[in-house]
Amino acid sequence: PSLAASYRSAFHFQPPDGHWMNDPNGPVFYKGYYHLFFQYNGLAAVWGNITWGHAVSSDLIHWNTGPIALAPDEWYDRQGVWSGSATVLQDGSVVLVYTGLTNQSVQVQNLATPVDAADPLLRQWKKSPQNPVISPPPGVNNLDFRDPTTAWLAGDGRWRMLVGARLAGSGAALMYSSPDFRTWTPTSAPLHAVPGSPMWECPDLFPVAHNAGLPLGVHPAGTPYVLKASIDHTLTDSYALGSYDAATDTWAPRGPDDVSQGRLLDYGKYYASKSFYDPVKGRRVLFGWIYETDSQQSNIRRGWASVQALPRAVELAADGADIVQWPVAEVDALRKHAATLRNVTLPPGARLELPGVAGCQLDLELAFTLPPQDEAAAPPPASAASEPSRCSPEGSAGGGALAVGPFGVAVLAAGAERTAAYFELARNGTAAVARVCTDLRAASLAPDTDRGVYGSAVRREGDGATLSMRVIVDHSVVEVFAEKGHTVVTTRSYPLGAMDQEARVFLFNNGSNSVVLQQATAWSMNSISISSI
Ligand code: DQQ
């Protein structure tokens, strides 16, 4: 197979005809189908000529694409149909709100509705004669006003919606209200802003609960809300947990972390995420854009760029201190041919091939037992004390001042190439901080690829004696979910040799203490086929 085919995802969504895709837009469940729209250039594998592509699924995993839903054909979106959201109104009808870049280079918000509301596949859309319905307010630059959220009905019977912005030097989520979904007026203050933060793209505000999902709308005071913003300077999705005050239409963080200054939804190459409430399974589901990390020439040569991440269910952690993200259960239906390994000690320097598993379409679940922590023998804190959350720049090689590890799994491994997903424990004062990391330093011998080390601290479940991770490999995509999804790291690998059936899986321990592999289960994964409807 050609390199282009080998890197192409087999069970992550991407348009069947290739070309360019970026942000997920307007996810919604309507008349028995999940709909996903996406920023799409059907002419080339580069950003530009942005339309809304459209895909439909009955299980969030198997998709078929429909015709382009929205194209730049009006003065108010002539330079691009940019990101936005879908809202289901009280009568069950659906409305899209999206950003148009006008012929005068102004970002405005526009409405579109189905041509035939009875069509469950929602193949044709018409734009509202009232467009544009919102223009940049005073204090907001014409190019800093975009990405409307799904709207919700507030206690006063009016709709609320957010728009990302930069307002007087602050990244901000502006709030608008409407009695009829046509006439929108700004609320008296932004929902939230962080002074000095860059522009907030693709804001998302949603309530969270443990073991459940919550729809947008009115919830009891004290319900935790995630506020997320996409920070374009770093191409990262930053979030914080906070409280939404319905009386003032404002949100405030609950802890020291604020949006753009706290945790990331994903510590790898994941951006512009957007959630929706799935009424079928009562869960909140998050889509996100996994971008390419090699050169634009490589994208053009391959003829396609970007995939959508596997949809993730998002919940509040049991102790309420953070959120957990986990691939929706429907992903498990793609699993076949399991191989299992139990109770294997990995001494320092261990490198053990996982038998019966190879290839580029894998789902691995690994649990490790840690050695008892001997405080006295622990090495000095070293750099870990100053930056406890950052992965060691040495990557998976070890030899640093770690208490335990690095230990974990190498995937897409053959010859000198491998992508390592692993844990390391660093001393932070008297506590040990666990971090989950992905090391791309040896991921590819190709000259134009990323050689970074990505990851962050992970909150440990239970008594801290075990650490678990799930690693999903789909050709060039590697998604790592640590400790039930407290920390997620998604990266891209473009090996020259470690592809297709050449790619092997190894367990390793490059630390100075033994760890025990409690259990490894590895599945090879079926492909999906995506065609047009
Ligand atoms: N992508 C869209 C914008 C959004 C950005 C344009 C985020 O609406 O702000 O393709 O990736």
pLDDT value of residue 398: 87
Q: Domain for residue 7, yes or no? A: no
- Provide CB contacts within 8 A for 519, sequence distance 6+: 340, 341, 342, 343, 365, 366, 367
Looking at every residue in the chain, the average pLDDT score rounds to 94
Is the shortest distance between the CB of 83 and ligand 1 below 6 Å? yes
Q: Could you tell me the pLDDT band of residue 109, with boundaries at 50, 70 and 90?
A: very high
Ranking 228-237, 344-353, 371-380, 495-504 by mean pLDDT, the lowest is: 371-380
Q: Rounded to whole angstroms, how far apart are CA atoms 171 and 200?
A: 5
Distance from the alpha carbon of residue 301 to the mean position of ligand 1, in angstroms: 24
Q: Would you name the residues annotated as active-site residues?
A: 23
Most confident of 1-15, 47-61, 375-389: 47-61
Q: Is the peptide bond before 132 cis (omega within 30 degrees of 0)?
A: yes
The answer to whether residue 5 sits within a structural domain is: no
How many whole angstroms separate alpha carbon 245 and alpha carbon 218? 10
- What secondary structure letter does DSSP report for 311? P
From ligand 1's centre to the CA of 83, what distance in Å? 6
Instruction: Indicate if 309 and 423 belong to the same structural domain.
Output: no
Evaluate: CB of 51 within 6 angstroms of ligand 1: no
What is the pLDDT at residue 399? Answer: 77
pLDDT of residue 1 exceeding 70: no
The pTM assigned to this predicted structure is 0.96
Q: How far is the CA of 232 from the centre of ligand 1 (A)?
A: 9
- Whether residue 398 sits in one domain with residue 307: no
Residue 146 CA, ligand 1 centroid: distance in Å: 8
Same domain for 370 and 318: no
Ligand 1: which atom is nearest the Cα of residue 271? 11
* Single residue among 298, 327, 356 that ends a domain in this structure: 327
Pair (383, 448) in one structural domain: yes
Whether residues 293 and 415 fall in one domain: no
| pLDDT of 33 higher than 80 | yes
Q: What CATH number should be reported for the domain holding residue 72?
A: 2.115.10.20
Looking at the structure of the chain, the number of domains it has is 2
The two structure tokens encoding residue 70: 């929205």
For residue range 283-340, list pLDDT tens digits in order. Answer: 999 999 999 999 999 999 999 999 999 999 999 999 999 999 999 999 999 999 899 9
> For 176-187, what is the mean pLDDT?
98
Rounded average pLDDT over 360-376: 84
Q: Within this chain, do residues 205 and 255 fall inside the same structural domain, yes or no? A: yes
Pairing of strands 140-146, 159-167: antiparallel
Residue 421 lies in a domain: yes
The CA 370 to ligand 1 mean position distance, Å, reads 43
Chosen domain end from 303, 327, 351:
327
Q: pLDDT at residue 169 above 80?
A: yes
Question: Is 15 domain-assigned?
Answer: no
Interface predicted TM-score (ipTM) of this complex, two decimals: 0.99
Statement: residue 165 has pLDDT above 90: yes
**Does residue 3 lie in a domain region?**
no
Phi, psi of 444 (to 5 degrees): -150, 145
DSSP-assigned letters across all residues of 396-437: GG--SS-SEEEEEEEEEEETTEEEEEEEEEEEETTEEEEEEE
Q: What residue has token string 């020259």?
A: 496
Substitution site in 82, 237, 265 for ligand 1 pocket (most atoms within 8 Å of beta carbon): 82
pLDDT-derived band at 207, boundaries 50, 70, 90: very high
Same domain, yes or no: 317 and 439: no
Q: Does ligand 1 come within 6 angstroms of the Cβ of 396? A: no
Q: What is the pLDDT of residue 3?
A: 59
Q: Which residue has the higher pLDDT, 110 or 378?
A: 110
84 inside domain = yes
Best of 50, 102, 143, 147 to mutate for ligand 1, by most ligand atoms within 8 A of CB? 147
Note the pLDDT tens digit of each residue in 464-491: 789 999 999 999 999 999 999 999 999 9
Ligand 1 nearest-atom number relative to CA 147: 8
Give yes or no: residues 311 and 388 share one domain. no
Which CATH number fits the domain that encloses residue 394?
A: 2.60.120.560
**Measured from the CA of 83, which atom of ligand 1 is nearest?**
8
- 278 and 199 in one domain? yes
Of the chain, the percentage scoring pLDDT greater than 70 comes to: 96
Domain that holds residue 294: 23-327
Residue 8 falls inside a structural domain:
no
Contacts of 481 (CB under 8 A, 6+ apart): 325, 326, 327, 469, 470, 471, 472, 488
pLDDT at 431: 79
Q: Do 314 and 353 fall into the same domain?
A: no
Is residue 82 within 6 Å of ligand 1 at its C-beta? Answer: yes
Residue 347 host element (H or E): none
Helix (H, G, I), strand (E, B) or coil at 122: coil
**Between 304 and 431, whose confidence is greater?**
304
pLDDT exceeds cutoff 60 at 376:
no
Using the 3D structure, point to which of 327, 356, 381 is the last residue of a domain.
327
The model's pLDDT over 241-258, given as tens digits with 9 standing for 90+, comes to 999 999 999 999 998 899
Q: Is residue 499 in a domain?
A: yes
413 shares its domain with 477: yes
Q: Across residues 162-170, what is the average pLDDT?
A: 96
Whether residues 285 and 180 share a domain: the answer is yes
In this prediction, residue 382 has a pLDDT band, given cuts at 50, 70 and 90, of: very low
